[in-house]
Amino acid sequence: SALLLILATFGVAPATAADDSLRASVLRVDTTQFPWRDVYVSVSDPRGLPITGLGRDAFTVSEDGASQPIERFSVINDSQVPIAFGLIMDVSGSMNDEGKLEAAKGAARQLVAALGPADSAAVISFGDKAAVVQGYTSNHDDLNAAIDSLQAGGNTALYDAVLQSTLISQALPQMLKVQFIVTDGQDTKSSAHLNDVLHTLQSGPSVVYAVGLGHDVDRSVLDQITHSASGDALYTDDPSTLASAFQSVLNQLRLAYLLRYRSPVPSSASSASSASSDGVPHSVSADVHYQGEAAQAASTFTAASNAVAIDVTGLTPGETVSGDRQVRASLRSGTAQRIDMLVDGTTAASSDGQPTSIVTELEGLSPGDHDLAIRVADSVGAETVQHVPFMVPSAATPEPIATPEATPESQTRFPLTDAPWSWLVWLPGLLILLLLALLALVIARTRKRGTVSPQVAAAATDDTTLELAAPLIPAGGDVDTPRVRVEVDGQQQDVPLGADPVSIGRDADNTLVLHDPHVSRHHARITLDDGDYWIEDLKSQNGTLLNGQVAIDRRRLELGDQFAIGSATLTYLGQAPAVSPSDSNGVSPAAEPRVPSAAA
């Protein structure tokens, strides 16, 4: 498809450091999960392009000068990598054809929405002349207003626009400066020449990407412009694929490496929170080696306090509770391994695997004084307990209702024989009741004979019903495809594994969607790494449990491994058995099955 063509053609090739020295920087240090430290590192070439494909062996990490073993290594997409984007938009008259300008404006708006807090962007248009519609800014409203104002008409001053965008970006603080050209033709109006553009790009800091729309594009010119600035060019006849191209480039430019190590700071303090926040600045450094070159990224940090604090909603201390009541305990600060809620010493609800909140129902309690206790085990196992006393009142005794005495003297009796007209008053009412009864009987028989369409209620926030949505292996499909078997409420279905990651969570953008309140929005991910499949927990609320008991961070999948995610059980299988259509147990795929090729 055109979309797959864009993603394949518009990939950022691994940059080399042959032009100059290797660059590395520490983006941030996460100290909130003592004793673990998470160091986020970016590695790039002299132009700021991220270097891909590095493994754990390429890095070493030290705290306060002492080398520490890397306990966890992963490649991530980090929005804190600062980027300056120059959107160079063709507004010549031909961009009005086939909705090309509207598609380009829509793709640009999506790129603006994806910008991080440290990013900036500018909008440069070119028709009869090049114009800076909006200078570099982080204000999304100003950028969108500039994009919306673009109108097509005139010639094509491409070279002038590229020069102008490159020159105004040189003073920006962002290390990575990217120019993104969208055009459907060739230069017809610039005062500058192609050699001027190539010379400026070769000596400047910018990286240039381009999308050529249609058959009138001068491909040799766009290839020279992009290759002189370590970028790439894409050619397509379908304007609707522009948004995917923009997002693909942005994702690859965000690449960073996560290094986790155990802090050497001793846990000798009276609590985990004071041990993790000693108030002393610490240094951290990450050394990286790539193709015979080396670079070091260094930073300092003071560990954040990890003190556990809980907020309770739905109940206040000393409150009188009449009827059933839902109570929620939420983690305000710190990191918890487990949270329990106990009513009068009996466990009413529990959650583990770094939970952030827990809910219980107060119902069926006898009158009198009661106690709700919230017990929290922090990241090193230290427990704190918070008590919320409350009272359930006795059932109120209903007051007697006074009944007035009848006064015989005031009553006047009318024998039926003395008022024959009274039957005429009641007769219409009796006839109406009879007709209503007949109508109800007819409706009941009609419903009994008819076919009732099943109604599926939408899952509420606390609904425990589950719905599975993922690319599935069809009956009689490729039995050699590696897969994960997903079991939900007795229903089973196989999900194929390939080169693409399989994301698992409650949000609709996941590959495998589990509509379960105990599943986090982005809960876990299965990836292919050096020929092996790995499952990684994405810091979910309730954890990814091996064999339903041991919470994991990241683990290589082995045949027969079972993982509990909410109410779903995932089993890793080596190959799929032949099945009949009746084996699907009613679990419907959300998309056609996609099995990546072995070369991926």
Per-residue model confidence as pLDDT tens digits over 555-578: 898 888 888 998 889 998 875 444
Which segment of 265-274, 392-401, 419-428 scores lowest on mean pLDDT? Answer: 265-274
The reported pLDDT for the residue numbered 588 is 37
**Given pLDDT bands bounded at 50, 70 and 90, which one contains residue 580?**
very low
Alpha-carbon distance of 51 to 71, in angstroms, equals 22
Measured CA to CA, the distance from residue 202 to residue 196 in angstroms comes to 10
Terminal CA-CA length for the chain:
17
Residue-averaged pLDDT of the chain: 77
Please write the tens of the pLDDT for every residue from 76-134. Answer: 877 666 788 999 999 999 999 888 999 999 999 999 998 888 889 999 999 999 999 99
Over residues 2-30, the mean pLDDT reads 51
Neighbouring residues of 438: CB distance < 8 A, sequence distance ≥ 6: none
Per the model's pLDDT, the better-predicted residue between 392 and 248 turns out to be 392
pLDDT of residue 40 exceeding 50, the answer is yes
pLDDT band (50, 70, 90) for residue 538: very high
* Distance from chain centroid for Cα 260: 22
Using DSSP, state whether 374 is helix, strand or coil. strand
pLDDT for 480 equals: 67
* DSSP run (H or E) holding 338: strand 336-343
What is residue 35's three-state secondary structure? coil
152 Cβ neighbours under 8 A, 6+ residues apart: 91, 92, 93, 94, 95, 96, 101, 127
Spatial contact of 70 and 37, defined as CB atoms under 8 Å apart: no
Collapsed DSSP state (helix, strand, coil) of residue 585: coil
pLDDT of residue 575: 57
| Position 233 confidence tier, pLDDT thresholds 50, 70, 90 | confident
More reliable by pLDDT, 545 or 401:
545
pLDDT of residue 426: 65
Confidence of residue 20 (pLDDT cuts 50, 70, 90): low
Is the model's pLDDT at 524 over the cut of 80?
Answer: yes
Q: How far apart are CA 254 and CA 11, in angstroms?
A: 13
Alpha helical stretches, state H, 272-362:
272-276
pLDDT, residue 445, reads: 61
Range with the lowest mean pLDDT among 15-24, 122-131, 217-226, 354-363? Answer: 15-24
600 confidence band (pLDDT: 50, 70, 90): very low
Residue 162 has pLDDT above 60, yes or no: yes
Mapped onto helix, strand or coil, the DSSP state of residue 50 is: strand
Q: How many CA atoms lie within 13 A of 378 on its CB side?
A: 25
Averaged pLDDT for residues 469-475: 47
Stronger pLDDT, 413 or 534, i.e. the higher one? 534
The most confident of the ranges 184-188, 200-204, 460-464 is: 184-188
Residues above pLDDT 90, as percent of the chain: 27
Residue 94 carries which DSSP code? Answer: G
Interaxial angle between packed helices 2-9 and 242-253, expressed in degrees from 0 to 180 and rounded to the nearest 10 = 30
- Rounded distance between C-alpha atoms, residue 169 and residue 136, angstroms: 8
pLDDT-derived band of residue 234, with 50, 70 and 90 as boundaries? confident
Give the pLDDT score at 161.
Answer: 93
pLDDT of residue 144: 96
Q: What is the mean pLDDT of residues 194-200?
A: 89
Element at 109 (helix H, strand E): helix 100-113
Confidence of residue 29 (pLDDT cuts 50, 70, 90): confident
Query: What pLDDT is stored for residue 279 in this prediction?
Result: 63
For 258-282, what is the mean pLDDT?
A: 65
Q: What is the pLDDT of residue 457?
A: 33
Question: How far apart, in whole angstroms, are the C-alpha atoms of residue 32 and residue 401?
Answer: 64
Given pLDDT bands bounded at 50, 70 and 90, which one contains residue 517? confident
Report which listed range, 76-85, 143-152, 350-359, is most confident. Answer: 143-152
The domains located in the chain, with CATH, are 17-80+255-301 (2.60.40), 83-240 (3.40.50.410), 309-392 (2.60.40.10), 468-584 (2.60.200.20)
Q: 196 or 205, which is more confident?
A: 196
CA distance to 26, 85, 142, 231, 412, per residue, from 184 (Å) = 40, 20, 26, 18, 100
pLDDT grade for 46, boundaries at 50, 70 and 90: confident
**Residue 386: its pLDDT value, please?**
87
pLDDT at 415 over 80: no
Q: What share of the chain is helix, strand, coil (3-state, %, to 5)?
A: 20, 35, 45
Q: Over 90: is that where the pLDDT of 158 sits?
A: yes
For residue 435, the 8-state DSSP code is H
Least confident of 91-105, 391-405, 423-437, 439-453: 439-453
Lowest mean pLDDT among 57-71, 152-166, 403-417: 403-417
Question: Whole-angstrom Cα distance, residue 600 to residue 592?
Answer: 19
| Residue 404, pLDDT score | 53
Residue with more model confidence, 516 or 270: 516
Q: What is the per-residue pLDDT for 289? A: 93
Q: Average the pLDDT over 548-554 and give the result.
A: 80
pLDDT of residue 212: 92
Average pLDDT over residues 445-471: 43
Q: Strand 282-290's sheet: what is its strand order? A: 66-68, 59-63, 282-290, 293-301
Res. 531 pLDDT band, cuts 50 70 90: confident
Model pLDDT, residue 80? 65
- 306-323: average pLDDT: 84
Question: 364-399 b/e with 16+ CB inside 10 Å = b?
Answer: eeeeeebebbbbbbbbbebebebebebebeeeeeee
